[in-house]
Amino acid sequence: QVQLVESGGGVVQAGGSLRLSCEASGRTSSQFTISWFRQAPGKEREFVATIWRGRNTYYEDSVKGRFTISRGNGAYTVYLQMNSLKPDDTAIYYCAGDSGLILSSIRGHRNYDYWGQGTQVTVSS
């Protein structure tokens, strides 16, 4: 089993910044991929960002240039730095992990076995 714990959400004004953290523990492996997703009320859960094999990063188009995903010093800590936040970024943000992904599957939330509890991000206009 793997446990994922997010932290760092909150309320911020448009244009502000937040940093989310996700720490994985348990039976992870070198192939364990951690990604960020978000879900706004009434909308599908959508891919935000991933760091692939600890090196390559991929982003949803609307967050490119504003969000940065990175790994912490620990192998299974991942951060999401969110700058220039917009009201449309308001959502519950989840980190998700899995060891059995291939690159073409990283954007599909149904491909992940492990999820954190979610952290609310609210951006006011």
Query: Binning pLDDT at 50, 70 and 90, where does residue 108 land?
Result: very high
* Two tokens, residue 26: 């348990």
Burial class (CB in 10 A: 0-12, 13-18, 19+), 61: exposed
Residue 33 · residue 49 · CB < 8 Å: no
Residue 39 · residue 47 · CB < 8 Å: no
pLDDT at position 4 is 95
Ranges assigned E (strand) in 1-125: 2-7, 10-13, 18-26, 33-39, 46-52, 56-59, 67-71, 77-82, 91-98, 114-115, 119-124
119-124 and 114-115 beta bridge pairing = unpaired
Q: Looking at the predicted structure, is the pLDDT value of residue 80 above 70?
A: yes
pLDDT at position 75 is 63
Instruction: Report how far apart, in Å, the C-alpha atoms of 25 and of each of 54, 84, 110, 124 are.
Output: 16, 31, 21, 33
Q: From CA 113, how far away is CA 124, in angstroms rounded?
A: 32
Give residue-wise pLDDT tens across range 1-34: 899 999 999 999 999 999 999 999 887 777 889 9
Q: Looking at the predicted structure, is the pLDDT value of residue 90 above 80?
A: yes
Give residue-wise pLDDT tens across range 26-78: 877 778 899 999 999 999 999 999 998 878 999 999 999 999 999 987 668 99
- Average pLDDT estimate for 118-123: 98
pLDDT at position 29 is 78
